[in-house]
Structure 1
Amino acid sequence: MSRFYEIEPTTENYWRAIILFGRNSASYKFALAKALFDFQASGKTQIPLDELAIPYASHLCEHLKNHPKQGTSEQSTFLDKLRAFNQGEITRDEMLSHTLRYGFVNVLDAFHNVHGKELETRFFIDERKRKNAVQLTDDFMLLGETQQFSNLIQETESRWRLVEAAWENNLPRNLMLVEYEEKNSLLIGANAIRRTAVTAARPALNGYQKGRCFYCYREISIVSGNNDIAEVDHFFPHMLKQCDSQKPIDGIANLVLACQECNRGQQGKFNRLPSVELLERLFNRNEYLITSHHPLRETLISQTGNSTEKRQAFLQDAYTCSSLHVGASGRKWQPKPQGPAIF
Structure 2
Amino acid sequence: MSRFYELEPIAENYWRAIILFGRNSASYKFALAKTLFDFYSSGKTHITLEELAVPYATHLCEHLKEHPKQGTSEQSTFLDKLRAFNKGAVEKDEMISNTVRYGFVNVLDAFHNVHGKEIDVRFFIDERNKKNAIQLTDDFMLLGEQQQFANFAQETESRWRLVESAWENNLPRNLMLVEYEEEGSLLMGVNAIRRTSVTPARPALNGYQKGRCFYCFREISVIFGNEKMAEVDHFFPHKLKQCDNRKPIDGIANLVLACQECNRGENGKFDRLPSIELLERLFNRNEYLITSHHPLRETLISQTGNTTEKRQAYLQEAYNCSIEHLAISGRKWQPKQQGAAIF
Measured against the shorter chain, the TM-score band is over 0.9
Task: State how far apart, in whole Å, the 2-side matches of 1:294 and 1:10 are.
Answer: 22
Normalising by the residue count of structure 1, what TM-score does the alignment of the two structures yield?
0.97
Q: Which amino acid aligns with 1:336?
A: K
Partner of 1:188 in structure 2? 188
Percent identity, aligned pairs only, is 82
- Once structures 1 and 2 are overlaid, which stretch shifts more, 89-98 or 309-318? 309-318
Matched, 1:8 2:5: no
Relative to structure 1, the CA distance from residue 266 to residue 215 in structure 2 (aligned partners, 3 Å threshold; closer, same or farther) is: same
- Once structures 1 and 2 are overlaid, which stretch shifts more, 194-203 or 235-244? 235-244
Q: 1:83-232 counterparts in 2 under 5 A?
A: 83-173=83-173, 175-232=175-232
Partner of 2:52 in structure 1? 52
Partner of 1:27 in structure 2? 27
Q: CA deviation at 1:240?
A: 2.2
Matched, 1:318 2:304: no
Note if contact 1:173-1:294 (Cα within 8 Å) is conserved in structure 2.
Answer: no
Deviations 1:207-261 (A, max 9, x none): 0100000000000011011111000000000232233221100000000000000
For structure 1, the 5+ residue unaligned runs are none
Q: Which amino acid aligns with 2:280?
A: E
SS at match of 1:227: coil
Task: Please provide the CA RMSD for this pair.
Answer: 1.3
Task: State how far apart, in whole Å, the 1-side matches of 2:326 and 2:302 are.
Answer: 27
Partner of 2:300 in structure 1? 300
Shift >4 Å, 4+ stretches: 326-329
Q: CA deviation at 1:329?
A: 4.4
Q: CA deviation at 1:288?
A: 2.3
Q: Which amino acid aligns with 2:130?
A: R
Matched, 1:40 2:35: no
Normalising by the residue count of structure 2, what TM-score does the alignment of the two structures yield?
0.97
Task: State how far apart, in whole Å, the 2-side matches of 1:209 and 1:93 are.
Answer: 42
Task: State how far apart, in whole Å, the 2-side matches of 1:264 and 1:251 are.
Answer: 21
For structure 2, the 5+ residue unaligned runs are none
Number of matched residues?
A: 343
Task: State how far apart, in whole Å, the 2-side matches of 1:224 and 1:103 are.
Answer: 33
Task: State how far apart, in whole Å, the 2-side matches of 1:331 and 1:123 are.
Answer: 47
Deviations 1:163-205 (A, max 9, x none): 1111112323553110000011000001111000011000000
Deviations 1:273-332 (A, max 9, x none): 000000011111112221333531111111111222221111111111112135564230
Note if contact 1:178-1:190 (Cα within 8 Å) is conserved in structure 2.
Answer: yes
Task: State how far apart, in whole Å, the 2-side matches of 1:117 and 1:264 are.
Answer: 42
Task: State how far apart, in whole Å, the 1-side matches of 2:97 and 2:174 are.
Answer: 39
Matched, 1:276 2:271: no
